[in-house]
């Protein structure tokens, strides 16, 4: 299942809703193979019954919590703060020995559940059984998700309240088991930062 997600990222698989049409092919196939091997034991440890990152009790508890608001209008609440590093924008992990250089935005691995403000889920990596690999800071994904990931710490779980201008300008059509998302309408992402390849062992600064 990890490989199926990676197939899209290399341009050979089926598009996922969170990526923009401008998502380029990844040229470092060796890195993708390395990440697949690293993710297999993590998948085995994950609960197959867990299809949410914030259940009904969690969602109810957020009503009294203050949201952080950024200059763009994005709002978020950290469900789990995380204790590891944040993605380093402007760097890229390589395959093989750990190395980083100024070659592009950093790859991260995350799980996410995307829903309407009313709670209707329209996309979820948990339903597919595999996390997704994303280049943060490259403008390849929904702007609100891209911004929200950049300040997360490894191991963190965050609810993002994405305003319409940072969501889907053209909207998403309805499909079997998936509600329609109107153009430029607000959406909610629950996202878990699972791995930052090359930075997994770094201590919190």
Mean pLDDT across the chain = 74
Residue 98 pLDDT > 50: no
Of 14-18, 30-34, 41-45, 68-72, give the lowest mean pLDDT range: 14-18
Other CB atoms within 10 A of residue 7 CB: 13
Using CA atoms, how far residue 159 sits from 22, 38, 86, 135, in Å, is: 25, 26, 16, 19
pLDDT for 2? 38
Average pLDDT of the segment spanning 51-63:
93
Cα 55 from chain centroid (whole Å):
18
Task: For residues 130 and 143, give the distance between their C-alpha atoms in angstroms, rounded to a whole number.
Answer: 22
3-state SS class at 69: strand
3-state SS class at 42: helix
pLDDT for 138? 83
Looking at per-residue pLDDT, the higher value among 154 and 103 belongs to 154
Average pLDDT of the segment spanning 113-125:
94
Q: Which uninterrupted H or E stretch holds 92?
A: strand 92-93
Strands 92-93, 100-101: pairing is: antiparallel
Give 2-195's CATH code, choosing from 3.40.50.9100, 2.40.30.160, 3.10.50.40, 3.20.20.70.
3.10.50.40
Q: Which uninterrupted H or E stretch holds 76?
A: strand 75-80
Of 28-37, 58-67, 153-162, give the lowest mean pLDDT range: 28-37
DSSP state of 124: E
Q: Which uninterrupted H or E stretch holds 109?
A: strand 107-115
Task: For residues 190 and 56, give the distance between their C-alpha atoms in angstroms, rounded to a whole number.
Answer: 13
Q: What is the band of 136 on the pLDDT scale with cuts at 50, 70, 90? A: confident
Strands 75-80, 92-93: pairing is: unpaired
Looking at per-residue pLDDT, the higher value among 150 and 29 belongs to 150
What ranges do the domains of the chain cover?
2-195
Other CB atoms within 10 A of residue 49 CB: 5
3-state SS class at 201: coil
Residue 67 pLDDT > 50: yes
pLDDT for 38? 52
């Amino acid at each position: 299942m990890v490989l199926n997600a990676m197939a899209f990222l290399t341009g050979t698989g089926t598009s996922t809703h969170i990526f923009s049409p401008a998502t380029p092919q990844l040229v470092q196939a060796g890195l993708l193979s390395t990440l697949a091997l690293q993710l297999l034991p993590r998948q085995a440890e994950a609960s197959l019954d867990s299809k949410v990152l914030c259940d009904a009790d969690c969602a109810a508890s957020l009503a009294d919590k203050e949201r952080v608001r950024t200059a763009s209008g994005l709002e978020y609440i950290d469900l789990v703060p995380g204790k590891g590093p944040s993605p380093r924008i402007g760097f890229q992990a390589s395959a093989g020995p750990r190395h980083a250089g100024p070659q592009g935005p950093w790859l991260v691995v995350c799980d996410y559940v995307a829903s309407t403000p009313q709670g209707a889920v329209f996309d979820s990596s948990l339903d597919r059984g595999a996390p997704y690999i994303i280049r943060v800071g490259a403008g390849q994904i929904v702007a609100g998700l891209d911004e929200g990931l950049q300040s997360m710490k490894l191991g963190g779980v965050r609810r993002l309240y994405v305003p319409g201008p940072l969501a889907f300008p053209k909207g998403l059509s309805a499909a079997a088991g998936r509600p329609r998302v109107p153009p430029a309408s607000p959406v909610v992402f629950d996202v878990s930062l699972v791995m930052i390849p090359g930075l997994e062992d770094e201590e919190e600064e």
